Structure formats: structure tokens, C-alpha cells
Structure 1
């Protein structure tokens, strides 16, 4: 049986690997994006908030596979993207059921109130169908 110091070192390493594998970063890390002070909900009352983390491989996959085309998609026109860093500051007026702990997390918002969420990136084959289903359940029609 390992001694106490070795056990602590082992557990710290496992914890760090688990956090890194889940796409999480240590508290206090620099935010990826400057957070908006205010959000113009009149300009776009529905938004898709993407909560991400620096070093998250699933966020990087979304950015590569979906990100470039999202603003031009029907879903992107109906719910423009609002990006936030999981460790960064949060804009005032956001009402969530619970704070995200997984990256990426996609939260559909209407005027700052959470309507639905998906935790994790389901992959390029499933992302749009899942988002479309979230919108349908919330009574939002993707823009034609």
C-alpha cells in the first residue's frame, strides 16, 4: 500500500487528468472571450449560449466542424451564438437552472432565461438535429 504522500500525489494526478479529459480548466484561468456587459435581447431575444473552456478538445471539434457554418444556418439565424468561458465572468441577467460544469454546454435562452440545454458535443452528425429538437420543444422555429 502506498504511503500517504504518494496516495495524495496519485489522486491529484488522477483528478487533473479527469478534469483535462472532461475539458475543464482550473479555476481562475483566463477567459477565452471578453464577456458582454449587456446583451441586447431586443435585437435577438433567443440565443444559443455555448459555454466552453480553453483546451477543451470537444469545444475545438465544434469550432472546427460546426462553428464556421452556424451563423448562416436556420438555427443560427433563429438563435445567434453567445460564447462564454466556463471560468470567466457571466453577464448580468442570465437565469440558469444550474451552472454548467461540462464543456461544451449549449443552453438555449429566451431573454436570458434557460429553455433547454445539451451538455457535451454530440458530434457533427447529431448537433443540428438535437438543436432543432430543443428549439421545437421551446416553441421556436428555426429561420427559413
Structure 2
């Protein structure tokens, strides 16, 4: 019995290790940004409930904080090039930028572009649209 309990616990602990989340979506914004507000109004509430939001949780960062000399280190975000426009969405893995979406092209385009970024740069698999399976 003890052998089975130990085996079960080992399997459970190994399984927990595989649930770690590496991908994160960083939204770089600034006060007064109309397109940031538009994104927030259209998608802010729904994003965490989507498969994309669950795979790459959103974290908001102020542009001024990111531009500080120690900003990237303090925030744990290393952009490949300076962020100039807001909103800019940085797809990061382990704090390093792996893809970028500059601006907010509207709800319809945002989802397609985000899904494409996730598929091309991570192991994300888009949910199937086939309801029959």
C-alpha cells in the first residue's frame, strides 16, 4: 500500500510541474491613450476568460515605467527593441519578448493576430471550431 501511495504522490507532483505557465501577454499602455481605453472597453473583461487569455495571462505595464533605465529589469520584461507606441502587446516567455503587436487594430483583427502570434511562437494550440468531435 505504501508503495502505491508513494507512486501516486510522485505522479501528482510531476503533473503539477507541467502546469507551469511561461507565456505572458504584456500590454504597454500610458495615461490618456484612447486606443488603450478602447481595448479595455472591448476586451478587458473578456480576455482572461478566453483560451488565449488563459494560455498567456495579461499584465499591464506603464510605458513610462518600462522606459526607465532599470524598468525592464524591475518589471521583468525584456523588449527586443524600445516600445514607442501604445498600446503595444508584447508576448513574452520567461520575461523575454518573443513577439509583438503594435497598436490595437480592433476586436476582430486583434484575436486573429494574437492567435497567429501564439501559434507561431509558442506551443499554443487553438481550440477546435468543430463542435462534433
Give the structure-1-normalised TM-score: 0.66
- For the pair 1:72 / 2:49, whether they are aligned, the reply is yes
C-alpha displacement at 1:43, in angstroms?
5.0
- For the pair 1:119 / 2:102, whether they are aligned, the reply is yes
User: What is the total number of aligned residue pairs between the two structures?
Assistant: 103
Moved over 3 A (4+): none
Q: Is the 8 A contact 1:62 1:121 kept in 2?
A: yes
How do 1:69-108 and structure 2 match up within 5 A?
A: 69-89=46-66, 90-92=71-73, 93-108=76-91
C-alpha displacement at 1:88, in angstroms?
1.7
| Runs of 5+ consecutive residues of structure 1 not aligned to the other structure | 1-41
Q: Is the 8 A contact 2:115 2:126 kept in 1?
A: no
Partner of 1:129: 112
How do 1:1-144 and structure 2 match up within 5 A?
A: 43-89=20-66, 90-92=71-73, 93-142=76-125
Q: Kindly tell me: are residues 115 and 49 of structure 1, through their superposed partners in 2, closer, same or farther at Cα, counting changes over 3 Å?
A: same
Query: How many Å separate the matches in 2 of 1:139 and 1:91?
Result: 22
Query: How many Å separate the matches in 2 of 1:104 and 1:69?
Result: 17
